[in-house]
Amino acid sequence: MKFNISEVLNIILLFFLLFIVICLLGLVVEFNDFKKDFHKAYFPDYNQANCLGCQPLTENSMMGNGYSDLTKVDDDFLNLSNSQWASQAVASSSYGSETGNSAWSPLMATGKPDVGFYGDNGKAWAPKNISGNIETLTATFSKAVYATGINIKESYGSGAIIKVEIGNDADLQVVWDGNDLTRGLNYFKINFEKTKYKVNTVKITFDTSKKSPNEWAEIDAVQLIGQ
C-alpha cells in the first residue's frame, strides 16, 4: 500500500487533533476536581447538585455567633428534661482541624444544634473523605449520668450510622447497630433501658458508603439523656 504525502499529513493532523481533544478533556476533569475542593473549603453551604445561594464563610456562618438558625426539627430536643449536649468531641478524621474549632472540625458537633438546613455546612462535623470509609465520632459530656437515650442530629449525608456505643471514657458497650434510616435534616433517636452505671461518652460509627455518594456525612449535635 502506498500513501502520498498529503494522506500522510492528513493522518498526522488527525492524531494531533485527537491528542488536543484528550488534553482538553483532562483539563476539564482537573478543573472540576479543583472547583469541588474550592467550594468545600470556602463555601459552607455548597451543595454539589446546586450551588445557588453559596455564601462565603463569615464568622457568623461558620460558628453561629450572634444569630440562630435552629429549625423546627430541633424544637422537640432543645428543652428535654435531663438532657445535655456534647461538650467535647474527637473523630477518626475531619475535614476541618482535628482539635481546633475550624469549620467541620469535631468540635462543630458539640453544643446546641446550629445547622438550620439539610446541606453541607461548616457548623457540623464532617470526615476528611466524602465516601468509602469507616469513620467514628466520639462525643463526651460534662456530666456522667445513668443514661436512657441518645439523639444525634444528622445534617447532611444522612443514613450512614452503623453503630452507637456508650460508656465511661474507654470502657464502651454497644447500644445500637444496624441500618440508619434517617433521611434529610433529622435526629437519629435511640432509647434503651437505664444504664446500671454512669456514662459520659457516646461513640458513633459511620460507614460513609451507606449514604448518598455526593454528600458528606455531617453531624450537627449529639445529645445524651439521663440523670
- CA-nearest of 157, 216, 213 to 184 is 157
Of the pair 108, 190, the CB lying nearest Ca ion is at 108
In angstroms, give the least distance from the CB of 147 to Ca ion: 21
Q: Which residues bind Ca ion (CB under 5 A)?
A: 108, 114, 123, 220
Of the pair 74, 114, the CB lying nearest Ca ion is at 114
In angstroms, give the least distance from the CB of 23 to Ca ion: 44
In angstroms, give the least distance from the CB of 110 to Ca ion: 7
In angstroms, give the least distance from the CB of 143 to Ca ion: 20
- Cα distance between residue 10 and residue 43, in whole Å: 48
Of the pair 64, 226, the CB lying nearest Ca ion is at 64
Cell numbers representing residue 105 in the block: 472540625
In angstroms, give the least distance from the CB of 121 to Ca ion: 8
CA of 162: how far to CAs of 109, 119, 126, 132, 205, in Å?
A: 18, 21, 16, 13, 6
Q: Which residues of 168-178 are buried (b: 16+ CB within 10 A; e: fewer)?
A: eeeebeebbee
Of the pair 86, 145, the CB lying nearest Ca ion is at 86
Of the pair 119, 167, the CB lying nearest Ca ion is at 119
Whether 150 and 190 have beta carbons less than 8 Å apart is answered as yes
Residue nearest to Ca ion (CB): 220
The residues, ordered by sequence, that sit 6+ positions from 2 with a Cβ below 8 Å of its Cβ are none
